[in-house]
Amino acid sequence: MSHLITFEGIDGSGKSTQVTRVEKWLREEGYDVLLTREPGG
């Protein structure tokens, strides 16, 4: 089963920090992780 997790917020709100932490944790738990980035407006 696949899941989609999104992080949204203003510049400087810590999105990249949280993405890095969640990615690390998911990989440690044995999940395959695919990170993508959509350019902002």
Q: Tell me: the pLDDT tens digits for 1-41?
A: 899 999 999 999 999 999 999 999 999 999 999 999 888 65
Quote the pTM value. Answer: 0.80
| Helix, strand, coil percent values for the chain (each to nearest 5) | 35, 0, 65
**Domain range summary for the chain, segments of one domain joined by +:** 1-41
Cα→Cα distances 29→9, 25, 26, Å: 26, 6, 5
The pLDDT value given to residue 1: 82
